[in-house]
Structure 1
Amino acid sequence: MMEMHSLLRRAGVVAGFLAGLGQAAPSCHAAHNRACWSRGFDINTNYELSKPSGVARSYNWVLEEFTNWTAPDGEVKDSAMLINGLYPGPTITADWGDTVSVTVTNKLAFNGTSIHWHGLRQLNANLQDGTNGITDCPIPPGGSKTYTFTLTQYGTTWYHSHFSSQYANGIFGAIQINGPSSANYDIDLGVYPINDFYLASAEEIVKASQLGASGPISANVLFNGTNVNPSGNGGAYSTINLTPGKTHLLRLRQSLPGDRQRAHVLITADQEPGNYWMNVTMPAENKCGVSDNPFPAAIVHYTSVADGIPTEAGTVPPNLGCQDSLLYEPIVSQAADPATFEQTEDNTVVMISVSTPTVHWVINGSSIDNSTARVDWGKPVIDYVLSENTSYPASENLITIDEKDVWTYWVIESTSTGPHPMHLHGHDFLVLGTSAPNAGFFTAANIPSLNFTNPTRRDVTMTPPKGWNVLAFKADNPGAWLFHCHIAWHASNGLALSFLERASELKTQITPTQKKAYADNCAAWNSYWDSQMVVSQIDSGLKVRGLELEGR
């Protein structure tokens, strides 16, 4: 989800899902009145029902592969895949209500690609979701595709390749959508990404995981695209500059193994001027990931003093668990009816790991990656919708939802010893409840603990190890929407399913122009795929780039 409209106050820091000041912000959106956006639109506006009029914004991206690429921390990576030569990729900056068009040209030698706009609802625009094998075919080498979508939400999120786990090779970046805010601030510091960085290729990581390797160790953790490397012989710390006496908005966008969340944090520069550490702290049991850099950090710098390396280590956060907080209360309220909730076999999703013949994930007895049944890049779910063919392949792990605007409930149960950040496309969901780790499966005795009245709303939530979540979303957005673990190699190995929501209405929403663009891209992809003999599909196709060079 866009992770907004919530507010949590702790220890003098306001942490909320806010939106910031744009270059052409309306006159009512000022430092003393961030709740206002424009006439008739403010922080209390139900953004799922209405949006302001916006402008059209266009971007042109070229995807290329770079060999022996020097990373921002000074290490050399055998190969990187970048958008316009940038790491991270270019930031999309727009306002609530704008329409964005992004033309993607694929100059990768052997890889297809697709771009998913993580957290964007894509209301009545399923074909723009960028999930190859589900909503479209990959863009073939030498091909181009234009994604066009309207920003019905606001806040901070990100985009990334959804062609296998290709984004781990560098195809990702931030999206900043300006809008009203739940608290006032003086200075918008912009998007601040924090991500794990691997010298190994995405393919190598996936193949190792299929052979039973434990979670990979990142070479580093990068702050705003940079850090010193663990050997100490290259790179530089990222610096966040604070103006004394001012309140600053920092738009955190995390893509660490155990997270994928976004949050807006307000920092008031009211401490002794100096240089301070901002740390990423990883639990000792490594359930949220592990890095060759044991103390990843950036510098928070007061502009009234000289630059320098902080001398104090900082404070370890009180909660080192790989868990979500359920204390965020959305400003725009939503509630589900507890009288309509029940747990059934049909709405219970059980995740297990299977190690024969290679490691893959199984949901309710079916896997999107078991070497014989993988997502077909050249025949997405949309093909079946357009032809009204309901003989969906087992490889899609498809759950159909036909009834309009009803609340649907999903009990997610895991037998895994590690947590899983589960992400839903096309919707924000209500997190009705989450168990403690090792609590076992959900039972009727847990129902009284569920919160149906304006609970925390997300598009990614952590399923605890050997525990459960109960999630709810309203069937108000026709489409084929993927639900998957956002640890790339887990989705690559099958930890995913799809909801096909109101398929008959979805077909009527697809215009002749959209249908032709979809068909042309799929024809180009299938022509490429059928004519080449260099690469093969090694995973589910939903994450990790999924192609390997023979002999590598």
Structure 2
Amino acid sequence: MSLRFICFGLVACWVAGLTSAMPATDPPLQPFGKYGCGQHGPKNRACWRDNFDIFTDTSTKIPDTGKTRTYDLTITNVSSFSSADGVSKPAMLINGQFPGPTIVADWGDWVKVNVHNQLQHNGTSIHWHGIWQKNTNDQDGANGATECPIPPGASKTYLFRMHQYGTAWYHSHFSAQYGNGVVGTIQVNGPASANYDVDLGPFSITDWYYETADRLERRAELVSNGPPPDSDNILFNGTHVNAQGGGKYSRTTLQPGKKHRLRLINTSLDNAFTVSMVGHTFTVIATDLVPVVPVKKDTLFMTVGQRYDVIIEANQKVENYWFNATLASSRFCGTTRIKQPAAIFSYAGASKTKKPTNPGTPVNAVCSDTVGFSPVVKKGAPKKEFLKSQGYLDVNLETPVIDDVAVFRWEVNGSSINVEWDRPILEYIREGDFDWPREANVIDIAQKNVWTFWVLENLGPVPHPMHLHGHDFLVLGAGDSQFDRVAGVNSLNFDNPIRRDVAELPGGGHLVIAFQTDNPGAHLLHCHIAWHVSRGLSVMFLERKGDIPKTVNLDNLEPNCKKWRAYEPTAVWPQSDSGL
């Protein structure tokens, strides 16, 4: 049973990742001169095109490619799906596959995605995890916040621009639905902070349950059931062997002597991993969608939703090597029934059938974010502004009795989020009505282009992967106790700290973040453990509500909301959780 489900409060504990860090061997990055950077290629990845390079601040400048990439995603029910690991289970798939198709675009492209909901009895929505959605907040895919769900038999077109580059993913935000298979990866091509020869593309790692996610979520609500069950398997790019030996290992081929870019993504519902590759190190070049100065790590902790772009150099013997995903023994970062989750990385010329023989050194799996990264484009927040004002988000796990049954409810500052599928917050803004329900957990941020600071406090032992929509954020600091409101500021880093859109809020401590109000819209900040957000662990930042009608096309809401409102009274499965 996963202890990650049971926790009593929100104040976080930050323990530095116990991975070794070594400087990368490539020459240090240097800004290009007035004559530009040259041609993008294996020997010059820092350059892109048209005077855009790794030093370009993506928040203020992006290429105008003039291109729109179009994709069609059809979501269907499958009563028996066994391609993942040989065990048959019901699933919801995108275009008949798991994970769904990879969306590939270049930095600056527009992306048009037609989503067709062919599920019989479920709505859906697609959130583009990590994509800022600047001036397109209505395309964020967060039902109850930025849109109504797409009803069965209906379609919706999402249109947005890639302001960033790197690795992201997409998933349903309709309750815990993505755990049934409604998930895929995103690759946005652009410059890189280190050179490489081969781009291997996205490499997703996820927990896998034979029971449907909606049943697990409903079971997890009841206090009498305790924590949700262990995951039945861990999949690598959608496949793995099962506990009885069926299924197959995921295999990736490396070219001897070449440097390979691998785009790691944790797309789990609950499980976090420490990843490593026997005999090899990772040169990290990006955290989520933020390019970083290259740094070598033996292991990387990956909580739910996080991404790392890494370079693996094939400089060892021509053999097969284990790529391991290890769970912490504390059980606070999820548990699985599979004993040794692993994929196989094979040098070209090695046996295509034999398993690796070297198990490698046991990994000290942790339950805290890996640290030691420096963003290439430097940003900092003013300490004096933090001293003037900061918000506090205290989270508690309550167990109210409803209809004589004790249930779990997560509260942020005393309130569990519960969104209205038929009336998202952007609809309130469209109508000029600011009287939304208290349980929408709206936090109004009115000022333009200022830094806003938030201290998350966790009173329980279980960590939470906290994800912010519409922004990445500065991780100013964290600790294993409640934040000291007098002396704590001295422990924070305001000078180019790590930036990302998911950070682990450790148990029993605090996490301090900051972001700029440069993107009007309704932006969720939520735990990415499905059982936690479905029971209330989220707030919604309403950023510059007066500017939303000027920057976001709110008329886009009505066609889909009209369809949903017509369907909802006849829905077989009415909303039974937070809706997220």
TM over 0.5: yes
Shift of 1:343: 7.8
The CA deviation string for residues 432-484 of structure 1, in whole angstroms up to 9 with x for no partner, is 00113xx2344322210100010000100000001100100001100000110
Matched, 1:170 2:219: no
Q: 2:520 aligns with which of 453, 478, 481?
A: 478
Q: Please state if 1:324 is matched with 2:335.
A: no
Cα gap change, 1:13/1:268 in structure 2, threshold over 3 Å: closer, same or farther?
Answer: farther
Of 241-250 and 144-153, deviating more is: 241-250
The question of whether the paired residues in 1 share the 8 Å contact of 2:111 and 2:162 is answered with yes
Question: Amino acid of the residue matched to residue 248 of structure 1?
Answer: H
SS at match of 2:559: helix
**1:535 partnered with 2:578:** no
- Partner in structure 1 of residue 240 of structure 2: 227
Give the superposition deviation at 1:315: 2.2
Cα distance 1:14–1:463, how it changes in 2: closer, same or farther (>3 A)? farther
Report if the CA contact (8 A) 1:14-1:266 is conserved.
no
Q: Which residue does 1:182 correspond to in 2?
A: 193
**Aligned-residue offset at 1:293:** 0.4
Relative to structure 1, the CA distance from residue 282 to residue 185 in structure 2 (aligned partners, 3 Å threshold; closer, same or farther) is same
Matched, 1:334 2:375: no
Q: 2:321 aligns with which of 255, 276, 280?
A: 276
The question of whether the paired residues in 2 share the 8 Å contact of 1:165 and 1:488 is answered with yes
**Alignment partners' CA distance in 2, 1:33 and 1:13:** 16
Whether 1:432 aligns to 2:476 is yes
Q: Secondary structure at the match of 2:326?
A: coil
Which residue does 1:445 correspond to in 2? 487
1:523 aligns with one of 546, 562, 579? 562
Two-structure CA RMSD over aligned residues (Å) = 1.8
1:42 aligns with 2:62: no
CA distance in 2, matches of 1:359, 1:76: 31
| Partner SS for 1:290 | coil
Counterpart-to-counterpart distance in 2, 1:390 and 1:305 = 64
Q: Deviation at 1:84?
A: 0.7
Counterparts of 1:230 and 1:11, CA distance in 2: 36
CA contact (8 A) 1:411 1:442 kept: no
Which residue is 1:134 aligned to?
145
Q: CA deviation at 1:325?
A: 2.4
- The TM-score with structure 2 as length reference comes to 0.86
Q: Which whole-Å CA distance do the structure 1 matches of 2:408 and 2:251 have between them?
A: 41
Shift of 1:388: 1.5
Determine the C-alpha separation between the residues in 2 that align with 1:173 and 1:533. Answer: 26
Say which SS state the counterpart of residue 487 (structure 2) adopts.
Answer: helix
Partner of 1:99: 110
Following superposition, the deviation at residue 366 of structure 1 comes to 0.8
C-alpha change, 1:317 and 1:131, in structure 2 (3 Å) is: same
For structure 1, the 5+ residue unaligned runs are 1-7, 19-25, 369-373, 543-552
- 2:298 aligns to what? none
The answer as to whether partners of 2:21 and 2:372 remain within 8 angstroms in 1 is no
Query: Any conservation in 2 of the 1:218–1:290 contact (CA below 8 Å)?
Result: yes
What is the aligned partner in structure 1 of residue 277 from structure 2? none
CA spacing shift, 1:433–1:528, aligned 2, 3 Å? same
The Cα of 1:392 is off from its aligned counterpart by 1.8
1:381-402 CA distances to partner (integer Å, 9 max, x unpaired)?
Answer: 0111111211121121000000
CA contact 2:167–2:186 (8 Å) conserved in 1: yes
* Separation in 2, partners of 1:306, 1:455: 44
TM-score (norm 1): 0.90
Distance 1:366 1:109 in 2: 33
1:471 and 1:145 map into 2 onto residues whose CA distance is 34
Instruction: Report the CA distance between 1:522 and its aligned residue.
Output: 0.5
**Structure 2 residue corresponding to 1:214, chosen from 208, 212, 227:** 227
Unaligned runs of 5+ in 2: 1-18, 30-36, 273-302, 402-406
1-structure distance, mates of 2:367, 2:375: 22
Is residue 74 from structure 1 mapped to residue 86 from structure 2 by the alignment? yes
Q: 1:252 to 1:132 in 2, by over 3 A?
A: same
Number of aligned residues: 511
Contact 2:206/2:234 (8 A) holds in 1:
yes
Paired position in structure 1 for 2:464? 420
8 Å CA contact 2:441, 2:540 repeated in 1:
yes
Q: Is the 8 A contact 1:442 1:468 kept in 2?
A: no
CA distance 1:178–1:492, change in 2 (3 Å): same
Q: Which amino acid aligns with 2:576?
A: I
Partner residue of 1:469 out of 508, 511, 517: 511
Give 2:297's aligned residue.
none
2:276: which partner in 1?
none
Matched-pair contact (CA < 8 Å) for 1:215–1:289:
no
**Cα distance in structure 1, aligned partners of 2:25 and 2:396:** 38
2:293 maps to: none
**Matches of 1:418 and 1:365, distance apart in 2:** 19
Q: Deviations over 1:252-296 (max 9, x none)?
A: 111233312101111111112211111111111111111110210
Going from structure 1 to structure 2, the CA distance change for 1:14 and 1:83 (only over 3 Å counts) comes to farther
- The farther-off stretch of 474-483 and 533-542 is 533-542
Give the secondary-structure state (helix, strand or coil) at the position aligned to 1:217: coil
Name 1:243's counterpart in structure 2: 255
Q: Say whether the 8 Å CA contact 2:38–2:47 is kept in structure 1.
A: no
Partner of 1:149: 160
CA distance in structure 1 between the partners assigned to 2:114 and 2:103 by the alignment: 13
Give the letter for the 2:568 counterpart: W
Greater relative contact order structure (CA < 8 Å, 6+ sep): 2
Q: Distance in 2 between matches of 1:407 and 1:483?
A: 16
Structure 2 CA distance for aligned equivalents of residues 216 and 481 of structure 1: 31
> In structure 2, what residue type is equivalent to 1:94?
A
Q: Which amino acid aligns with 1:540?
A: S
More displaced, 102-111 or 256-265? 256-265
Q: Residue 417 of structure 1: CA displacement?
A: 1.5
Residues 27 and 93 (structure 1), Cα distance of their counterparts in 2 relative to 1, 3 Å cut: farther
Q: Name which of 512, 529, 541 aligns with 1:499.
A: 541
**For residue 371 of structure 1, what is the aligned residue in structure 2?**
none
Cα–Cα, structure 1 residues 108 and 478, in superposed 2: closer, same or farther, change >3 Å? Answer: same
1:266 paired with 2:318, answer: no
Tell me the residue number matched to 1:313: 359
Shift, 1:9, TM fit: 8.9
Cα offset, 1:203, TM superposition: 1.3
Q: Which piece of structure 1 moves more, 167-176 or 269-278?
A: 269-278
Instruction: Kindly indicate whether the alpha-carbon contact (under 8 Å) linking 1:281 and 1:316 is maintained by their aligned counterparts in 2.
Output: no
Distance 1:84 1:533, change over 3 A: closer
